[in-house]
Amino acid sequence: MTSTTDDWTRLCNLLDDDPEFAPAVLDAVEAGDDPWDALIDALDDAGALAYLDRSDTGVELADALAGLPRVFRADVDLDPVGDVDDLDAAIAKADQLLASHLLHLVHIEDPEDEDAHPLVAVSTANVDEIGTLIAKLTT
């Protein structure tokens, strides 16, 4: 059986490789602070978070994704995402485009804002494990 700290460490390592990211989250875990809030803040500080609102459209999604390091490095053409008005449909379109670059968008719930839709671009190979860890750490 792994410890909660081990699970948070693994989740952090799968979400982003910024050297300051995981320690910021783990400090919150050890201090008894809200780790999800720390996770979102640390992803944002690392530049790895596309923070959207439920009312946003594909234009805002395309703009936010273009600045994510993994998406930028993959040189994904996000213009088709900007043509979609509904955020869920735009996310599906973005995932379709990212898939050819072995990337996938993962939604991280923001406990402080139910209308927020924070997204992280991750390796497709890690999506299932990330989902399992998120489910484990939210229960």
pTM above 0.85, yes or no: yes
Q: What is the rounded CA–CA span in Å between residue 114 and residue 118?
A: 10
Assess contact for 105 and 126: CB atoms under 8 A: no
Per-residue pLDDT of the chain (139 residues; tens, 9 = 90+): 457 999 999 999 999 999 999 999 999 999 999 999 999 999 999 999 999 999 999 999 999 999 999 999 999 999 999 999 999 999 999 999 999 999 999 999 888 888 999 999 999 999 999 999 999 998 7
Chain centre to alpha carbon of residue 21? 13
**Residues 6 or more apart whose Cβ sits within 8 Å of residue 85:** 57, 58
CB burial string 35-54: b at 16+ within 10 A, e below:
bbebbbebbeebebbbbbee
